[in-house]
Chain A
Amino acid sequence: MKVKELLAHGFVAKALPDGEREIDGVYIGDLLSWVMGRAQMDNAWITIMTNMNVVAVASLTDTSCVVLAEGVDVPADVVATAEAKDVNLVVSDQPIYETAVRLAGLLSSDAA
């Protein structure tokens, strides 16, 4: 499914410079150096971290979008940098597990 399609399912876009990107799989993690070595290209990456380094790690790993769980606030400069660096940021108001379950449901019904 495309990143922009998440918006019809309760996810809120903070930055959507490339909403047409396809999501392939999900990675979850908050320790950025760990995520840097493990998230796969096109994954939706779920985290609660919202500092500038998140945008950099998403850009390095080429994930399709960052899903910020728990309805966390995103600083304006992080949103601006995400727009500039072509990194999609969407917010989920649910905790990490529920967010992952919801994504899994959407991705599997999309594949069917």
Chain B
Amino acid sequence: MSEAISEQKRKIHPHKFTLWVAIGSILMMFAGLTSAYIVKRSQASWLMIEIPMMFWYSTATILASSVTVQLALKALKKREMINYKRLLVVTAVLGVLFIVLQIAGFRQFAAQDIRLVGAGSNASYSFLLAISGLHGIHVLGGVVALAVTVIRALNSSTKSYSTVPLEIVATYWHFVDALWIYLFIFFTWMK
């Protein structure tokens, strides 16, 4: 038994493990929110949501960013440092673009005269805003983490080729991507 555990100890870095537990925790928050959505949906005065086109673009953006972060990881492993830094910056920019597109998507609602908050708002659209908004904050957190990684890569006095920090950031990045895909499918399905 103890041998099996020390074996496992060598397999996963404690910080990576911490991230996986954190992902479980974040998932619980969105599970709470989406189940609240399901409960609310079965009650009176629910409006069918029409997802604007803009959300399709933002989804494509975040999918692309997952690819670039994976390429960055690959570049780091091959020690192609210039490529690696370039790809990290591209990923962060795509992350910001995603958030911008999300905001543009919500502006389309305003153009259609659908109120998300305030008097005359319906909980169905407010849910869309609250849940996507919280997801956006998590993406923003990922952008900050990427920025820190980029700055460290540019500034570090000693060359570090450890892939662990980037692996952690990349895992998180894939997670917020997958989370958005889940939410997007959820919103499209559960109008």
A and B interact physically: no
A interface vs B, CB < 8 Å?
none
